[in-house]
Structure 1
């Protein structure tokens, strides 16, 4: 007999991000919850408003899709274990590999040994060459698009003068292609069940990088080439039955060749997982909330619309079937440090002091969907586990005093670029009053098309004083946040600002980044990333605004509903099921 639902303990990996959210909504259900461990069997239905173009691991860039296929179809060398109990951080474990890898002393070589007797869904052996081939596909950037290209920057493969890799993927032809292949074979090599990687620079968290879908194996002698379809053979507990349709979805059934004893991550509870795409978010929410027929065993992959979230949080029966998860996405502002009005730290400090984060969060969504934050590093990451950054109250009066003491004439005119949209329009407008009180005269400039291309283009820093943006970690390290956004050597070129939209640059800080990347101890390394973030915040290289969260709805028969570690606010299909 099924007992009443109960909320289980929140883990530190999500509690900090959602704790404030719970305080805002009083009764929101957050973190992870179960009634009892999910039983085995049945059909779990996943409902997504967005089309899912592909299940091909090297073409997947969306973290929620990566989290879905990573628990069902495509295993990787390492993976994050499901969040459980009172764990302070999600655990990295060997997945296809027997452990989390063996680095050299200089962190420029990594080795992983595959588990014995791994198989594809057709029963053929899965080996080292298949892992190597999957990674090789990411270099064919002219035909394999959309997925992570971290391998291109990490592996020790020569580059052409314009910065392109000399290895152009497994299907390139000609003498130059042969030379590139030779370089790739030196950087990624196989010896029986051991795969070795030679890196261009020390990468202390390379064993976390390989959790990305782009590092999943693809059967070398079964790959149909650059025009391969939306799906490839499965190495996980499910396989695609029939074909995949990006607009409507498809059906996953048990992979009979998968061995539970070789998999420390996935429980594979349902017999079938039906993925339905293309419905409107409101329709999905209404379907799940109605809890009729198949909806009892359904979960919304698409977060509930803002209009329904307050309803869900205010009705106990609906709260019981909801789960609010931090997505890892943080909205922020990048002050243009080359702008005449914001090149001084005093002016940037005044801008931050007059920024009303709470107003932005409410305007963006609601207290359920966004929480004010002062750091780009999400609270759930180890870098913030022991060094949380408090969100101070805005002080426009002090901001105006700082400007006057610095001899800055007020009001200070600023042009603020942001990506246009109904929620964004409302959220950005909520910042205007505080800025005016703080001594600024803001002009909001909404940009509808090609936003990031526009604000990173040459000349953008001559047109705008402040740039809106957002970002999320690719895996459980601040190394996937700070260097991509603020390492000038990676971003600032004649072609534009890259992701360093405000043009912030520091030779000393860049040197610190290199030192941190070569620190072998994870806890010490993440603490150092937090300290590097302190430097950025003190110089007001950015102004964090809000951490986004997502509310997922589930039918009354769904069990084991929990957050996927670093899955962009996705549920963990490794433990979910139906009873």
Structure 2
């Protein structure tokens, strides 16, 4: 029986990643000066109306909001111009595997304390992970739930039960027992649920408002929908990835993106000490590009989430490989990029593994030029014996998604393929496309891995056990040989060897053409003039909040 590992719905839509992370810059670095000045009040402007601070319910990236408040066993070392690395955080190393990779052991560093000065123990980490299994705390990143022995039936600690596959033989040692070898476990141990939670301070209904801090900041006040204020945690010990620069960090919530952009463009008053958590849309980018000073403060990722056209491989003529290949050639990449906002917002995609992920190998199995290759598409349809193809395309109903769907529609029309667009609101779209018997032919979606490994690009989107039931194999792609290769790559402890395996799987999947890779999104963020160390590395496509400082 295959190991089911589910990712995060939030990462399927780039627009849903508002307070999660950042990527490479247009100039390769952004404002990543080596200074580590202390002091000042940093303001983060966000359109989010609620920030979930409960580690069990969070899908936050390790380098953004929650990373300021809580530490985990491991974390991400994200630096401008360098590949992402997993590094120790609360633990002394990234984990010691045994039993062929089915058992992972960690030892805590000495002197670790919560914000009230009490010691952090492995019992706090075990309890924090266990509470993530509770139904009332669902919604967070859930990879560990399917990997740990007994995780498929465990319902959390609130009924008095513990998860036996997490052992804490003493206050500084914690041992995890997995169902099968899993080489990426050090990345899993960096996820929010691996933050310590003191059982005596836990209330599942209110913990999200004021979690007990283990990072450089603690919550001073939290008015959901209005403002979150963080101040220094005096018991935090300087660690390798967090600068702890500002004395205070204020999140201003429910902010209009256009208004925030205008404020930062002007760079007056408190705007000088602020940055936007939301990436800029085409209208805001246009305004920034007209202002030389603001343009100098813009940071743009080299590449981020992959936008793709899922082809439902179980539907009619789409079962035919030549038809799916024809669609890959018929799509108009140039028109799709224009619909996304142009070259500053997207670059052409040809691989499943996104840029910035270690081990990625560039290739293009369906070279079609900037505008597609209509003649090649028609020839493949003729070889398949298909003369009339009518397809439904599901997409979200926002203006950007509909413009992108229309670009797909007009591109395929050139090859004689008729596309009917069915727009729907975001919640309905993701509910419907992840059902087992979804009736779409094509679906527009996007995906950013939850951690910087090719496993995060491949397994959630193409393993057969991710079809339906909330899974994101939107192509309903089912190739037993690929499933075996995915299992083997996941079980490989040597990550260099695993990278080679994932690159081979990438190309093998595209030989079956279950999707059309369209673009890698380029995301742009704007900072005020006093904000320093504001950069986007090769992964993820968001700024590293943990490094940001203010000019003193």
Give me the TM-score of the superposition, normalised by structure 2. 0.90
CA distance 1:79–1:62, shift in 2 (3 Å): closer
Residues in 2 aligned to 1:30 and 1:59: alpha-carbon distance in whole angstroms: 33
Partner of 2:101: 107
Partner of 2:218: 239
Instruction: Say whether residues 1:167 and 2:143 are aligned partners.
Output: no
Instruction: Say whether residues 1:203 and 2:176 are aligned partners.
Output: no
CA distance 1:377–1:52, shift in 2 (3 Å): farther
Query: Which one of the candidate residues 407, 423, 441 is aligned to 1:430?
Result: 407
Partner of 2:280: 304
Secondary structure (helix, strand or coil) at the match of 2:72 reads coil
Residues in 2 aligned to 1:238 and 1:465: alpha-carbon distance in whole angstroms: 48
| Counterparts of residues 281-360 of structure 1 (less than 5 Å) | 281-325=257-301, 328-360=304-336
Deviations along 1:54-87, whole A, 9 cap, x unmatched? 2111111244xx5323431111111112304x53
Deviation at 1:251, TM superposition (A): 1.2
Deviates more, 1:219-228 or 1:314-323: 219-228
Of structures 1 and 2, the one scoring higher in RCO (CA 8 A, sep 6+) is 2
Secondary structure (helix, strand or coil) at the match of 2:395 reads strand
CA distance 1:464–1:225, shift in 2 (3 Å): closer
Instruction: Say whether residues 1:80 and 2:76 are aligned partners.
Output: yes
Instruction: Say whether residues 1:52 and 2:50 are aligned partners.
Output: yes
| Counterparts of residues 13-412 of structure 1 (less than 5 Å) | 22=26, 29=27, 31-34=29-32, 37-63=35-61, 67-84=63-80, 86-87=81-82, 89-140=83-134, 142-157=135-150, 165-172=152-159, 178=161, 181=162, 184-225=163-204, 227-241=206-220, 243-260=221-238, 263-325=239-301, 328-384=304-360, 386-387=361-362, 392-393=368-369, 394-409=372-387, 411-412=388-389
Partner of 2:526: 553
Query: Which one of the candidate residues 384, 390, 396 is aligned to 1:413?
Result: 390
Q: Is the Cα contact below 8 Å between 2:477 and 2:514 reproduced in 1?
A: yes
Secondary structure (helix, strand or coil) at the match of 2:509 reads helix
CA distance 1:101–1:577, shift in 2 (3 Å): farther
Secondary structure (helix, strand or coil) at the match of 1:151 reads helix
CA distance 1:269–1:257, shift in 2 (3 Å): same
Could you say what the CA RMSD is over the residues aligned between the two structures, in angstroms?
2.2
Secondary structure (helix, strand or coil) at the match of 2:136 reads coil
Q: Is the Cα contact below 8 Å between 1:337 and 1:343 reproduced in 2?
A: yes
Partner of 1:9: none
CA distance 1:249–1:145, shift in 2 (3 Å): farther
Deviation at 1:105, TM superposition (A): 4.7
Secondary structure (helix, strand or coil) at the match of 2:546 reads coil
Residues in 1 aligned to 2:349 and 2:209: alpha-carbon distance in whole angstroms: 38
Q: Is the Cα contact below 8 Å between 2:72 and 2:194 reproduced in 1?
A: yes
Residues in 1 aligned to 2:474 and 2:38: alpha-carbon distance in whole angstroms: 49
Query: Which one of the candidate residues 538, 542, 547 is aligned to 2:511?
Result: 538
Residues in 2 aligned to 1:232 and 1:470: alpha-carbon distance in whole angstroms: 31
Deviation at 1:246, TM superposition (A): 2.2
Deviation at 1:53, TM superposition (A): 3.2
Deviation at 1:431, TM superposition (A): 1.9
CA distance 1:57–1:306, shift in 2 (3 Å): same
Deviates more, 1:396-405 or 1:346-355: 396-405
Give me the TM-score of the superposition, normalised by structure 1. 0.86
